[in-house]
């Protein structure tokens, strides 16, 4: 009896860890510097978990606005390089404290090279896109990242049938068109269509990175994958400062306090605080309920862009965000039905059962 209970408990814990990792992989781009927490530790209360998830979503939504602010005194490449160096200063000591050892096979370097190029494309394309589109609109488009990842995963990995997710993807893409159309966001951004296209291209890079990470994380922890791929992206990115720079010409003294604060926000809060708060929340209430809070990210981006940058919020923006959130919800629901045909999915979640 006791052996049966232990086997059942261990199996459900592993299943919970796997579902948490799947949920992290499908998070919108911009929330990707994640690390592991102790999955076997006592869970937070429901109220504390909801507070943690809300905090993470608001922080990640604000990071889009912070990047837009940073693009005033910094060029896109400068912003990305400084953000990456600051993130490595946090992630590497954290990795050394938690793990400290790595074992590479010969083919691993090729994999990390390709994954690093995915990170590079994601960072730069979104930052260049933010030069042409409002932060709120970009944040809403980024909210479609789970649908884009699911669509490409269906085509490349065949892990989901396209017939299961096509409707949700279509609804999300229509929402993106609303946001980045030719006449979208009047008075904000010199070319919303170009900016929206660059942001979407960045999301495609992130989707390919996410897909590529799945097999890699069978051997490496998410924390190790994160800092290694970020370091690889910086290896290719730093030489690009020759072609794209602003602060290097005008001098450090030309950067206002707001620019440094925005950069610090992205490095520290979006990198360190955001993912830890998210994972603690996921551990407390389970990935099924936690996934709903991901829809707050584009909402918070739109809210912060209105409050901080005074960007207009009208019918087009509200319609676009409604369609994107609806599409992501449809993809999530249909994906869970296909991937989790097990007891407890449509009733009490398996990860929330108490083992006595």
Q: Does position 192 have pLDDT exceeding 50, yes or no?
A: yes
Domain boundaries defined on the chain = 73-258+314-339
Task: Read off the pLDDT of each residue in 162-187 and give the average, rounded to a whole number.
Answer: 68
Sequential DSSP letters for 142-158? HTTHHHHHHHHHHHHT-
pLDDT of residue 261: 93
pLDDT of residue 231: 93
> Among residues of the chain, what percentage have pLDDT more than 70?
72
Task: Read off the pLDDT of each residue in 22-35 and give the average, rounded to a whole number.
Answer: 47
């Amino acid at each position: 009896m006791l052996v049966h209970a232990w086997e059942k408990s261990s199996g459900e814990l592993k299943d919970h860890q796997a579902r948490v990792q799947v949920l992290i992989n499908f998070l919108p781009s911009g929330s990707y510097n994640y690390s592991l927490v102790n999955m076997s530790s006592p869970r937070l209360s429901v109220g504390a978990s909801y507070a943690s998830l809300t905090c993470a979503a608001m922080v990640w939504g604000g990071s889009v606005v912070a990047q837009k602010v940073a693009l005033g005194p910094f060029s896109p490449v400068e912003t990305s390089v400084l953000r990456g160096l600051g993130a490595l200063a946090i992630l590497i000591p954290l990795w050394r404290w938690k793990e400290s050892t790595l074992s590479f096979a010969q083919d691993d370097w090729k994999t990390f090279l390709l994954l690093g190029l995915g990170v590079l494309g994601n960072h730069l394309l979104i930052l260049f896109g933010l030069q042409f589109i409002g932060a709120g609109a970009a944040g809403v488009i980024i909210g479609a990242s789970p649908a884009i990842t699911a669509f490409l995963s269906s085509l490349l990995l065949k892990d989901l049938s396209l017939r299961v997710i096509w409707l949700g993807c279509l609804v999300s893409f229509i929402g993106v068109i609303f946001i980045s159309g030719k006449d979208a966001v009047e008075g904000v951004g010199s070319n919303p269509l170009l900016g929206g296209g660059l942001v979407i291209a960045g999301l495609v890079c992130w989707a390919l990175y996410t897909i590529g990470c799945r097999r890699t994380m069978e051997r490496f922890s998410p924390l190790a994958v994160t800092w290694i791929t970020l370091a690889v992206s910086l290896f290719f990115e730093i030489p690009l400062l020759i072609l794209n720079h602003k602060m290097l010409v005008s001098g450090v003294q030309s950067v206002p306090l707001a620019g440094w604060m925005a950069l610090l926000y992205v490095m520290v809060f979006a990198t360190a605080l955001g993912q830890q708060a998210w994972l603690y929340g996921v551990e407390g209430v389970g990935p099924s309920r936690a996934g709903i809070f991901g829809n707050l990210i584009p909402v918070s981006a739109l809210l912060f862009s209105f409050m901080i940058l005074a960007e207009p919020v009208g019918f087009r923006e509200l319609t676009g965000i409604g369609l994107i959130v609806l599409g992501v919800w449809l993809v999530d629901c249909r994906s869970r039905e296909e991937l989790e045909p097990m007891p407890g999915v449509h009733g009490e979640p398996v990860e929330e059962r108490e083992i006595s």
